[in-house]
Structure formats: C-alpha cells, structure tokens
Structure 1
Amino acid sequence: MNMRKRLSGMWLMSMALLSYGAYTTFFVAQMSAPYIVYWTLPVFQSVALVIYLWGPEKIKFKPLRIMYHLCYMTSFLVLPAFIFIFMGLISQYHINIPESIDATRMSVEEILPGDGTTIYRTDKVYIFFPEYKTVDMECGNRPSQSDESITWCCGAAFQHAVELGFSQDNIEGDHASHGEFYDSPYDRDADGAFVFADGKFGFEFGDKEKAVKKAAEAGGSGFMQLAMINNKKAVMNFDRPRARCYRTLAELNGHLCVIDSVKMMHFGEFMEELKRIGVTNAVYMDMGAGWNYSWYRKATGKVRTLFGLPVPWSHNWVVFRK
C-alpha cells in the first residue's frame, strides 16, 4: 500500500471517529445544529470507511463508485461541524463569578445597584447592575475592551441573515444608535422595545416604533427584541425543549439590569425565576453560540469575560457606559 492510500485511510478513520464524537456531543448536550450533524455525517463517514477497507478499486458498479467519492468528500465537513458543536457546547456554560453577592436568602427588595457594577447571585440567575450614565446601541465595529468607559457589553438585536459585511437593514426591528433612527424591514409583532435617552431607560410594548424614534430624536439609542415581561406579566410563550443558558435585559426594583441564568436550564424555569424576583419589564437577549459574547468591567478596572467567542457576523451590541 502506497503512502497516499495509507494517509487516506488514516484520514477516513479519524473523520469517522470525530463525526461520531460530534454527534455524541450534540446529542448529550441537547444542542441545536444543522440537520446534517444529527446523523448524516457519521453515516457518510462509515460508508466511506467500509468501502475503503474493502477496496474501492474493486468496485465495478459506477453508482457505487460515485457514492464512495461523495461520501469521501463529506469528510471535509466533519472538522467544521465538530468546531461548530464544540463552540456551541462551551457557550452554554456560564463562568463562575466569585465577586457576586449571595442573594439566596435576601428579600428581593434588597437586590439593588451599588456604587459600581454590582452582581447578585441566586440559585438560578446572576443579576448584573452595571455602572452607567448612558446606554448605547453600537453597530458595525465590535466595542473594544480597552474602552474604559464601557462597563458592560453584550449582543443586542437579532440579525436577519448571517453576513460578514455590516448593514443596518440586516438588523431585525427598528433601532436607533447615537441619535440616528433606522427603519428595519424586519419587524415582529412579538417584539418589545428598549430605549435610552436623556439619562433614562424605558421599555415599550405598544407603539414600539414611536418609542425608538423619540429616543433617536433625543440623541439616544434603542432597539427591538422579543418581549418577555410587560408590567410583571409574562408575554412570551417560548416552548423550548432543550436546556440552554438564557439572558434578559430587564427592569428590577425600578433599576435597569441584565439577568443571566447561572447554568443551563429550561426556559420555563428561567421565566419562573424572573417572576419570583419580581422583574417588572424584560426583553430577550440572544444567547446562541457566539452571539452570547459578553463582558463587564470590574471595580478594579479589569474586564471579566463571560462568553468570549464572538462570531464575525455579529454586528450590534448594547453597551453601558459610565
């Protein structure tokens, strides 16, 4: 057997094992992924490996030879699929925050902002009160951790399509950034609006476009996201069978905060905890692989990264500035 055939065999055996590893990881972690990851890649790699071990040169039936070459070609999809699943897996595990205040035995009325960025932890959620004077929606270039005015950064609105280039039209929902209003072609009835202008934040679940335009006219920012809680009433019915990490931009005890689940949980469990602690208003914040990129600035000035896997096609963020 020549070197080329040996290398082909090693490649097919490695990709077959990796494809089964990717599928097992996907299945155990209960992740969402392109359908091809469910079972087709392991099947294709198994077919290619079996035919290779039997001897592709023995094949006389032309359709079978074509099938072998097609299965062999799919082996080059295994590594990207595995990386995608690996990124998705680690993106669902929230880091531990040792400086968080234990709020498991505190009354909900005591969960309030402090002098700087303040973080509380219950059994199920982290509650972040970033220090801020303004809250902006940044579009285009990802905010830099070297900008010491930023105390919190995370993804904001959904984007309609996966695109490396940035376009305001690709952001779902009408939005405003630094006083500029952008009319999106992708509005949803299920959205609520978050706005910040004149030093005040607000949530709007009725005339959302008007609220965002008003914020822009005042030189502020705003965006639309799926509505979760309106005046302490749950307005989002999100039946997701898989456990995930979740995040919301919310109003708690009259103050603006960001709430993350401590670990993977079902969405209904997350909503129950928001209800228990008395969240007044809330909009959903996407937490998929790469989209959950987020960080905050500690009192020491150092940045603590919560989820550090940004994707190059993510192009808008909500930023708290002191």
Structure 2
Amino acid sequence: MSFPDDCRVLSIQSSVVSGYVGNKSATFPLQILGFDVSTVNSVQFSNHTGYKVFKGQVLNADDMSCLYEGLKLNKIHHFTHLLTGYIGSKSFLEKVGEIVKDLRKQNPNLTYVCDPVMGDNGKMYVPQELLEVYQKVMIPIADIITPNQFEAELLTEMKIGTESDAWKAMQILHDMGPKTVVISSSDLGSEGTIVALASSIKNGCKEQYRINMPYIPQVFVGTGDLFAACLLAWIQKDKNLKVALEKTVSIVQAVIQRTVGHALSLAGTGNKPTPEQMELRLIQSKADIEDPKILFDAVPV
C-alpha cells in the first residue's frame, strides 16, 4: 500500500459550525488518513438546513477569487487533490472551474474529485443554472465524479430506471471526461437495499463494480460528503477501485449504524430522532475510518 506522504487536498464545499456536513464531514476522515487538508467554505451556516432555522454566510465568486489569490501570491497553492461538494451559486462554480485549470498549471497531475451536489430523491436544491456549468465545465475537467442516482440523471438527461440504464448513463459521463464514475447511492437494488455502482476506464480497459448496502429509513445529512472524501483517500492509498469502494462503503455504513443507534437511544422508543440527534457520529468512528473492516463486497460486473 502506498501512503500519501505529501498529499495535499484543497476541499471546496459547505461548512457548519455545529454538526457534520460538507467540509466538516470530509476534513476529519482525510486528516486521519494522512492527508493535509485546506478548506474553503462555499457557505458557512450555524447548522445544516434540515433544522428549523439556519443562519450564516454565503461566499460569492469574488470571495473565492480573493482567497485563491492570497494562496497564489504566497506560492502556497500546491495541491495534489481538489475535492468539491456543495456550491450554491453559478458564478462561484464557474470560478472554481477556472481555479482547477490554474491549479493544473502548478501540478499537471492534480486529481480532481467532483461531487456534483445538486439534489436527491427527485428534487434539486441548487439553482437550475448550475446544471449546465457542471455539464459543460466541471465534469469534463474532473478525474473522479460521485453523483447520486438523481444527479446522474440530471447530468446525462436520461431517466435511470434499471441497472442497465445506470451503466449507460455512466458511459455518457465517461464520454464527458472523467476516468472514474461512481454512483454513490441508487434505488436499483431489491427492496431494503441501496446500490452503489462504480466504473473506471484505464488504458482503454473498463472495470465495473456493484455493491449492495442496507436501506435504513432515516434522514442522514453529510453522508455523501463523507463518501466522496473516503473514496478520494482510498483510491490514492490503494490504487484499486474495488478495494477503495469496499472500504468507503464500509466506513459510511459503520458511521450510519453508529449514528442511528445513538439517535434512537436518545429519542426513546417510538419517537422520531431530531436533526441534532441524527448528526453523524464521525469522531466516534475514528477507528472505523482509519482501519475499515470490509463488510460489503464489490462484485465485478
């Protein structure tokens, strides 16, 4: 196994003061897996938007430009990886596209992992105008993308009703640019399961995997951000898509199971857990993140 002695990640996504979503969900796993992480918070809120109230600030394109300029003027914009997640404005996303290209001048081998956070369960929670920026600017320059099923449908403009549809959509996404495409969650499995699908093209050869996970009827926030961060880390460390997918899914499931157990014990029998009780038990899952027990097999397709 190769260890990331000098891997530096620039992570651009949302952040919260309390709880675990966006950069708060991605930074801790990356750091304990040996990565140096620098963060830009596209938004900074008091808590995630699933609570009754949230307050905070939204960065605009000029803010992003200003922060990046500071890094550049000090010549501290050397990164091996870029990770992007929730970005809420078109101009900000376009600015990040420019920064990716500029970072590649500094390091042509930069790995860009793009989690195109746009929505879930058939609903978009970013402005519609971001979709075109993802399609035309971000996806073509990404190395690895981690959409959920709904985001893959948006990006490819095709309905995914079967696993066969999913593989076709993933090929469309490959044709747009990324060498590795992972649908982080889908409802394409049998009842009671969620399916993740991964496809990678290297030197003209394609490898594809399916991995099943149990469906847990609770609302989780921050799991997609955790998934993308862990996938980045394990692909870098193991250089093996199958193993990286297995470790990533096993970590996310371990965190989810610990979170649900804790939330239900706090809520009491018959009560629905509150958003606060359902915050990811990320810190308590440190051992699972560092040395995941593989409980889910990625099956070659």
Q: Which has the higher strand share?
A: 1
**Which is bigger in relative contact order (C-alpha 8 A, separation at least 6)?**
1
Q: TM-score interval w.r.t. the shorter chain?
A: under 0.3
Q: Which has the higher helix share?
A: 2
Q: Which has the larger radius of gyration?
A: 1
Please, what TM-score do these two structures have when normalized by structure 2?
0.25
Please, what TM-score do these two structures have when normalized by structure 1?
0.24
